[in-house]
Amino acid sequence: MEEDTVNIEAFRYNFELEFEAIQSALIYFPGFSFALDCEPKFNVENISNISIILRENYDDFPAGTDISYLFLLPDGSQLSRFRDFSAMQKFFSLKLDYIPEKSESLETTLIIFLRSGDQIRKASTSPVLSK
């Protein structure tokens, strides 16, 4: 369907962290700070990593591949290198830094790894991504 297709340049991988869910997973959550003109920043000390794993093959990447390095944070850094969880925002909007050979959906699992050993997982399917 036409309305289920998005140009790869316009596509964003968006997710919202539910700090209550993270906190209930035995996270140490010491506090947060507010700025008058921007979204609150949270100091989260129990997250060790955030990954995006393919649930199905995508282009030349097999299912099970960690593709976190293909997603860029607003500052241009790769999600796979993101380790400073001391000033986290609740909403993330990542840019896919990859142009696939063919148009297809991206089926992934977002995994938040907690220092306690627990994981928070969320499966998602993108619209068809086209050049």
pTM of the model: 0.79
Averaged over successive runs of 10 residues, the pLDDT of the chain (131 residues) comes to: 80 82 43 49 74 95 97 93 78 92 94 89 94 86
DSSP 126: P
- Which residue's entry shows tokens 């050049």? 131
Q: What is the pLDDT of residue 46?
A: 79
So where are the chain's domains? 2-120
Q: What is the pLDDT of residue 34?
A: 45
Q: What is the pLDDT of residue 33?
A: 45
- Closest to 106 (Cα-Cα) out of 50, 51, 71, 57: 57
**Paired tokens of 10:** 């316009």
**Paired tokens of 71:** 């997603």
Residues 6+ apart with CB under 8 A from 52: 13, 66, 67, 68, 70, 71, 79, 108, 109, 110, 111
Q: Contact, 52 vs 110, CB < 8 A?
A: yes
Q: What is the pLDDT of residue 80?
A: 94
Q: What is the pLDDT of residue 28?
A: 40
